[in-house]
């Protein structure tokens, strides 16, 4: 199976490159090698490459910048995925396109399923939803994978920022009224490998007939707030013998975020609205593959013991 990964320099794309190289024939393009905002360049470069599966992990992911640079957000997150899907159709290849929990408005209080109505409340969410629609309109054999709160060793995320702050300060806090599920890039790679194996098992000599297509949610199991996530990370650090100044994480309200960011370290305030609740149900993935993703606490512990103990 020949795989091309776009966004190979990003948090998820770099993890997929590393995890898939031993298993598949993989080629990656990072931002410098391929700019998704140049649709003609995309047609030329991706069109000239041979593959069975194209994985798009590239995106304009700065949620606040998307609010300001709306046109750019739609070109990269919506138009480009549509072009990629068309290129895949021409090659009889499949596209796996990554999307986000931010397509939902966050009003629900139970995990979002693939059948739930999307209703984004930010330009980022709107552009990503338009990207999903463009991909699936081009062909129903393609797969849109929604993920949330992604963490891993290839690019710092919330959990790394919290650990760094806890190493510097005695008092740290995090939002206690926003819910989702931290999801490890290593686990996303494993889940995706399950999909690829299903595709190749079901279509010997080709990749035409897999069951896994349309929209699928990939998430570790469980849910938490940012405060609970950060507290668990500190607890794991303590158990792993990693020295920290802070031991507990204080609670911060989402509504306080703008004021506090303005008043702390010159950080820009949030521009975009964020969904309060964006837990993704992994029930469909579990049913289709027969494998349940592990709990987020186990995944975070694994990440910290594997990557922080060495530092």
- Among 26, 59, 163, 175, the residue binding ligand NAP under the rule CB under 6 A is 59
User: Using the rule CB under 6 A, is 194 a contact of ligand NAP?
Assistant: no
User: Using the rule CB under 6 A, is 57 a contact of ligand NAP?
Assistant: yes
Active site residue 124: yes
- Among 20, 74, 98, 218, the residue binding ligand NAP under the rule CB under 6 A is 98
Count other C-beta atoms under 10 Å from residue 28's C-beta: 22
Q: Provide the token pair at 208.
A: 């035409």
Q: Provide the token pair at 32.
A: 């410098």
User: Using the rule CB under 6 A, is 150 a contact of ligand NAP?
Assistant: yes
Q: Under 8 Å CB-to-CB from 300, ≥6 apart: which residues? A: 151, 159, 182, 184, 229, 232, 233, 236
- Among 101, 105, 132, 187, the residue binding ligand NAP under the rule CB under 6 A is 101
User: Using the rule CB under 6 A, is 114 a contact of ligand NAP?
Assistant: no
Which of 24, 102, 112, 124 is the catalytic position? Answer: 124
DSSP letter for 76, please: I
Strand, coil or helix: what is 155? coil
**Cα separations in angstroms, 205 against 87, 88, 200, 209:** 21, 17, 8, 11
In the shown chain, the binding pattern of residues 13 to 52 toward ligand NAP, with x for contact by CB under 6 A and - for none, equals x-----------------x--xxxx---------------
Q: Provide the token pair at 118.
A: 């999307």
Closest CB to ligand NAP: residue number: 10
Q: How many residues does the chain have?
A: 311
- Residues of this chain, 61-90, that bind ligand NAP according to CB under 6 A: 61, 76
297: left (phi over 0), alpha (psi -120 to 50) or beta: alpha
User: Using the rule CB under 6 A, is 9 a contact of ligand NAP?
Assistant: yes
- Residues of this chain, 151-170, that bind ligand NAP according to CB under 6 A: 155
Query: Please, which residue, 37 or 200, has the CB nearer to ligand NAP?
Result: 37
Token pair 């290849």 in the structure block, residue: 93
Query: Please, which residue, 84 or 246, has the CB nearer to ligand NAP?
Result: 84
Write down the least CB distance from residue 1 to ligand NAP, Å. Answer: 21
**Cα separations in angstroms, 178 against 7, 79, 154, 229, 252:** 28, 30, 25, 11, 10
Q: Cα(311)–Cα(309) distance, rounded to whole angstroms?
A: 6
User: Using the rule CB under 6 A, is 149 a contact of ligand NAP?
Assistant: yes
List the beta bridge partners of residue 112.
280
User: Using the rule CB under 6 A, is 189 a contact of ligand NAP?
Assistant: no
Query: Please, which residue, 52 or 132, has the CB nearer to ligand NAP?
Result: 132
Question: Residues in the site for ligand NAP, rule: CB under 6 A?
Answer: 7, 9-13, 31, 34-37, 57-61, 76, 98, 100-101, 128, 147-150, 155
**Residue positions annotated with a catalytic role:** 124
């Amino acid at each position: 199976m020949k795989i091309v990964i776009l966004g190979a320099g990003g948090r998820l794309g770099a993890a997929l490159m590393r995890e898939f190289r031993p298993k598949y024939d993989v080629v990656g393009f990072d931002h410098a090698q391929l700019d998704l905002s140049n649709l003609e360049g995309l047609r030329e470069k991706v069109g000239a490459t041979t593959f069975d599966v194209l994985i798009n992990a590239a995106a304009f992911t700065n949620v606040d910048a998307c609010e300001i640079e709306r046109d750019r957000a739609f070109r990269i997150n919506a138009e480009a995925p549509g072009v990629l899907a068309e290129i895949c159709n021409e090659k009889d290849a499949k596209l796996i396109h990554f999307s986000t929990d931010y397509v939902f408005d966050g009003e629900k209080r139970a995990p979002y399923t693939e059948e739930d109505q999307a209703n984004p409340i930010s330009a980022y969410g709107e552009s990503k939803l338009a990207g999903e629609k463009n991909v699936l309109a081009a062909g129903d054999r393609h797969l849109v994978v929604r993920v949330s709160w992604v963490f891993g060793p290839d690019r710092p995320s919330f959990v790394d920022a919290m650990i760094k702050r806890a190493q510097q300060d005695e008092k740290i806090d995090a939002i206690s009224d926003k819910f989702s599920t931290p999801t490890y890039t290593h686990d996303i790679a494993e889940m995706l490998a399950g999909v690829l194996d299903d595709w190749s098992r079901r279509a010997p000599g080709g990749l035409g007939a897999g069951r896994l297509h349309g929209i699928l949610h990939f998430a570790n199991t469980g849910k938490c707030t940012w405060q609970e996530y950060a507290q668990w990370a500190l607890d794991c650090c303590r158990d792993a013998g990693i020295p920290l100044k802070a031991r507990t994480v204080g609670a911060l309200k989402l509504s306080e975020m703008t004021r506090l960011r303005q008043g702390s370290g010159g950080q820009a305030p949030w521009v975009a609205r964020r969904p309060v609740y964006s837990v993704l149900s992994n029930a469909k993935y579990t049913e289709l593959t027969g494998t349940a993703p592990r709990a987020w606490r186990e995944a975070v512990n694994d990440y910290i013991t594997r990557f922080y103990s060495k530092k």
